[in-house]
Chains A and B, each alone.
Chain A
Amino acid sequence: MKFYVCIKQVPDVNAPLQIRDGELLQDRDRMILNAYDASAVEESLVLTEEHGGKVEVVMVGPDKARETLRKALAMGADNGTMILTDRPDLDSTAYSRILAAFFKDKDYDFICCGKQAQDTDAGLTGSMLAEQLELPYVSNAVGLNYENEKLIVRRQGDAGQEIIELPSPGLVTCSNDMNEPRIPNLKGIMQSKKKPVDSITPEDLGIDIGSIELSTNILGFEEMPERETGKKFEGDPDEIAREVARLLDQEAGLV
């Protein structure tokens, strides 16, 4: 069974952020593997460990993001492809087009994407890619099994879960609720250094990256309007509990 996992390097949302003149200043040293993609890598590893097969990872990003690709290899992926670009403003449409060009002449059973990128929370690339490759897909998977050459996907829907059979070739987008991604051990890290990584450019795939005109643009960033911090009640549990109940009734009219 052959899996490809599309992985993205994202800034750690827990790192401090600052906005100056509409520009977002982030700690660029704190770049990580998108948590949803880490879950996708983990799940493909578990499935291939059980049923045999290979896991390849692919990332579109700058050369600096290579360390994140290495992390996926250290987790256990067999090899990787870096599609190199320094353009920082690409949107899900652009990424999905580059990935679609990459997958055009590839053989695989399943492509796994994250449900969304942790920084933009867009959640578009996976199904955009599926549509361009004319693949059946399931989004927001919280569990995967493999039976009779099909992925049995547990999908978290709005009200409950659906168990869906996805034939090969197909695409699935993964929630981070499906597993705890393994932390690479020393052996994995050592091995990852010897694993093959292809470096190509969008131009190699027939895409002139300079001329991509984006149809969505970020105009700037703003602080979240701050909530006024309210009152904190400390002391005797019985007293403060009753007091807050009364205030919810009197001040907020919510009882």
Chain B
Amino acid sequence: MNTILTYISVSDGKIKRSSLEVLSKCRLEAEKNGLKTAALIVDENASSLAEKVRPYGPSEVYIVEGSEFKNHLNSPVLKAVSGAMNTIQPKVMAFASTENSKDILGALAANQNAPALPDMSEFELTDKGVKGKRPVMAAKIISRVEAVGDPVIISVRSGSYDLIESPSEPQIKKLDFTVTEKEIKTTIREILTAAGDKVDLSEAQTIVAAGRGVRDEEGRKLIDELATVLNAGIGASRALTESGVYDPSLQIGQTGKVVSPQLYIAVGISGAIQHTAGMANSKVIVAVNKDPDAPIFDITDYGIVGDLYKVLPPFIEELKKLKSN
């Protein structure tokens, strides 16, 4: 009732930056409203991660630990989070928006009989619940929304808030948890992880994204080289994830991921709204496209009109030169 609780997303044993952004904002909201800030970690090794949230100022860190969380299956996570909510009775339960939080958000709301506002780009507490903004219609416009209730469940788009440090000495509280095999119901057969190095696109500072214009091995090599020079993560449009050229987890956009890097370089991407829905919030946008009327140029800071096969080699060379100086 007097707590804002933030769910700490863990992937591959590492805390996702986006959930610490949410925790930072929740602490500010809690202070403004005279509430407590708490964090909830649900993971196989949750205890060992508690220390990592301390810099962001929670007064309590709740831990739910168990081998059931090793592979993401929604039923144990749902049981853990709803159990934690029953114990803690938070006023707001906040998530970073990830595929795994989307997985349980609706079920959790139904379970808790609580309103849910997903994918917020801004939020604040009100007397009645939460209000804020969320992009809709493939992020063409913003909808101002409110939720009335106690608790309210929200998720927040990555990059919406800055990390703010304010170290605390939180109490670590372990919550009991058991789940039976019968309750889990679904079984995981296999996990296919993307090959190659795993840059988390939602946290990358620089992204080089390839679209249909990148049509062959030579083009992909140029994308790789550019990404290497800039130490960037590689993303792709649906045209290239759908055809299997790039791993589906690299898709950026309405169906794929929402990213907010400092620099986004779109290569051979037309700029369909379903793509820009996932990247228009990047700080600086560069596009390389041979069509001067491609819609992507409407949102670029630096638009290079030209054939990517002719533009990228000197671009990469010049960047290398600048870097070595």
Contacts and interface: CB of A to CB of B under 8 A. Distances in A.
A139 B137 CA distance: 21
B163 interface: no
Interface in A158-191: 158-167, 170, 175-177
A217 B145 contact: yes
A229 B299 contact: yes
A127 B194 contact: no
Contacts of A175: 255
A253 to B, nearest CB: 9
Interface string A121-163: 1111111111110001111101000000000100011111111
A211 interface: no
B124 interface: no
Contact of B192 (A136, A158, A160): A160
Interface stretch (B40-48, B52-60, B71-79, B209-217): B71-79
A215 B149 contact: yes
Contact of B314 (A115, A166, A238): A238
19 contacts: A17-B140, A120-B136, A121-B118, A124-B105, A136-B186, A152-B189, A156-B99, A159-B11, A159-B194, A159-B249, A160-B249, A165-B186, A218-B145, A229-B300, A230-B301, A232-B297, A237-B306, A245-B318, A246-B322
A133 to B, nearest CB: 10
Interface stretch (B24-32, B61-69, B109-117, B165-173): B109-117
Instruction: Kindly state the interface size class of chain B when it binds its partner.
Output: 35 or more
Contacts, number: 272
- The interface residues of chain B, by DSSP majority, are classed as mixed
Contacts of A129: 106, 110
Given A159-B193, A233-B304, A244-B302, A164 B284 contact: no
A54 B322 CA distance: 63
B107 A137 contact: yes
A158 B300 contact: no
Contacts of B280: 224, 227
Given A17-B140, A115-B255, A217-B145, A177 B311 contact: no
B106 A124 contact: yes
A19 interface: yes
B306 A240 contact: yes
A124 B99 contact: no
Contact of B198 (A159, A232, A245): A159
Given A131-B106, A160-B249, A121 B305 contact: no
